Amino acid sequence: MLDSTITQFLADQQERISGTEPHIAFSEAEYANRLTRLQQAMAEDGVDTLVLSSPESQNWLHGLALRWYKANGPRDWRPLTCTVVRVDAGFILFEGIEHTEMIRRTSAAKDVRLLPRYERDGMLRFIVNESKKEGWVDGSRVGIELFSAIPNPAVSRMMEGALLDAGARVVDATLTARRVRMIKSADEIVAVKKAAAICDAGLLHLAEVLRPGMTELDAHGELIRGLSAAGGEPAGLHQVAFVGLAALGVYHEISGRRVITEDDFLDVDPCGVYKRYHSNRSQLYAFKEPDAGAVELLKVLTGAFDILTERARPGVRIGDVNAELYAYYKDAGVFEINSSVWIGGYEMGIAFPPDWVGEWKFTVVGGEHDDRVFESGMVANFESMCGIGLLDTFVIEDDRTSLLSKLPHEIMVVGQ
């Protein structure tokens, strides 16, 4: 027989947990507007029912935020957390009962259908049968996010097969789910700007404590300390700090045990994160006055941001801006020193591990034929990379295009 003191302890703790206020990121009105926009996109693409499986899509639609989606676990623990949206109705969030409290805390979903913990081997059948009862499957064109990391390929094939068996016509609706996130609402832009301020705070904290003799991992830990102290959340990618210059081939390295010397540059490439919205900004640190060549090169890279913010305005053809930027690098004589490194930008916004790179992107080199146009509400980083990597995030608004970091594009000399 269970000890009554144990029973009382657990009851007290459950009451305490259940009494925690939800921290749903946005208002009901904001989420309602997002549903409307998604349904409009579904109608345009001929998608009757859309199965959202990516954490980003579900977070955008109703706020759900988990740290584990079973992406790469045991084969019988299948990543099937999903939200099924109907073009002319609402949506249903499907999960296991073990995440009831997480849903209450983070999600604005009203129709939540949960399966008991030890019935999870029937989750896919549960999702399809419940959706079929609503009339959302049989004879419907059902879209799934084939380019999402979640679910994994095996489970994605299972899902497609189950939907086909239930009478659906299955199509890839990755872009249907993603393109509605490309244009940020006013509330989203506020969140991204807050993320940028968090990123700046983390960079400034690192500047205060960085000293020769620390390891890359020490620097990484202090960077995270600064980001967290400013209210930053864990990012979708490793917040890297490494010895060297990003654009000389080490920009995707993981921080390690290498000791930083007074002759080294330390390059960091983090994002500030707020309500899962990311804002990217790199920073180069040195312990003594940098070589004149480094200073001059950074000035050239900074000049590209001036062109970008002046020219990347709503309605302007992206290919024209790409051509101007490419000509700028060529005329400055720096492009050939590092022509294998990518120069361009990609969408910033909601992200969960294992990535923070969004769908929308532009590529400067060879991008003069890009006939798309910049639009108000776009948020992206820009990677000005020739020898040194200089990254910042910009937002396009009706009346201006601006960088989100408030820090100067300079090498920070620290530890003096």
Assigned token pair, 22 = 């939800």
Per-residue pLDDT, 1 = 66
C-beta atoms surrounding 35 within 10 Å: 16
Per-residue pLDDT, 336 = 83
pLDDT at position 195 over 70 = yes
Per-residue pLDDT, 14 = 87
Residue 302 half-sphere exposure toward CB, CA atoms < 13 A: 12
Max Cα–Cα distance, the chain, nearest Å: 82
Q: What is the mean pLDDT of residues 191-217?
A: 98
pLDDT at position 37 over 70 = yes
Assigned token pair, 389 = 């990597």
Q: Where in the chain is the domain with CATH 3.40.350.10?
A: 4-179
Q: What are phi and psi of 79, to 5 degrees?
A: -75, 90
Q: CA dihedral defined by 24, 30, 35, 41, rounded to 10 degrees?
A: -130
Query: pLDDT per residue over 41-85, tens digit each?
Result: 999 999 999 999 999 999 999 999 999 999 888 998 999 999 999
| Separation of alpha carbons 156 and 70, rounded Å | 13
The DSSP bridge pattern shows strands 388-396 and 401-403 to be: antiparallel
* Number of continuous H segments (helices) and E segments (strands) in the chain: 11, 17
Identify the bridge partners of residue 85 per DSSP, sorted by sequence position: 50, 91
Assigned token pair, 119 = 């019935």
pLDDT at position 91 over 80 = yes
309 in Cβ contact with 382 (< 8 Å): no
Angle at which helix 153-165 crosses helix 123-133, to 10 degrees, equals 40
Assigned CATH for 4-179: 3.40.350.10
Tell me which of 69-78, 190-199, 224-233, 342-351 is least confident.
69-78
> Distances in Å between the alpha carbon of 333 and those of 247, 322, 328, 344, 411?
16, 17, 9, 18, 21
Query: pLDDT per residue over 242-296, tens digit each?
Result: 998 876 767 788 999 999 999 999 999 999 999 999 999 999 999 999 999 999 9
Query: pLDDT per residue over 208-217, tens digit each?
Result: 999 999 999 9
Q: What is the mean pLDDT of residues 86-114?
A: 96
pLDDT at position 204 over 70 = yes
Burial (CB < 10 A; 0-12, 13-18, 19+), residue 85, is: buried
Assigned token pair, 254 = 């993981």
Query: DSSP state, 139?
Result: T
User: Which positions ≥6 away from 304 have C-beta within 8 Å?
Assistant: 325, 328, 329, 382, 384
pLDDT at position 218 over 90 = yes
> Distances in Å between the alpha carbon of 194 and those of 108, 222, 234, 348?
22, 20, 15, 13
Burial (CB < 10 A; 0-12, 13-18, 19+), residue 254, is: exposed
Per-residue pLDDT, 247 = 67
Q: What is the mean pLDDT of residues 220-245?
A: 96
Per-residue pLDDT, 19 = 84
| Of the candidates 152, 131, 136, 173, the residue with the CA atom closest to the CA atom of residue 72 | 152
Per-residue pLDDT, 281 = 98
Q: Look up the pTM and report it.
A: 0.95
Place of tokens 């009382």: 8
The helix (H) or strand (E) run that includes residue 100 is helix 100-106
Per-residue pLDDT, 311 = 97
Per-residue pLDDT, 155 = 96
| Separation of alpha carbons 189 and 181, rounded Å | 12
Instruction: Spell out the CATH class of 186-413.
Output: alpha beta
Q: What is the mean pLDDT of residues 92-100?
A: 95
Q: Where in the chain is the domain with CATH 3.90.230.10?
A: 186-413
pLDDT at position 384 over 70 = yes
Per-residue pLDDT, 297 = 94
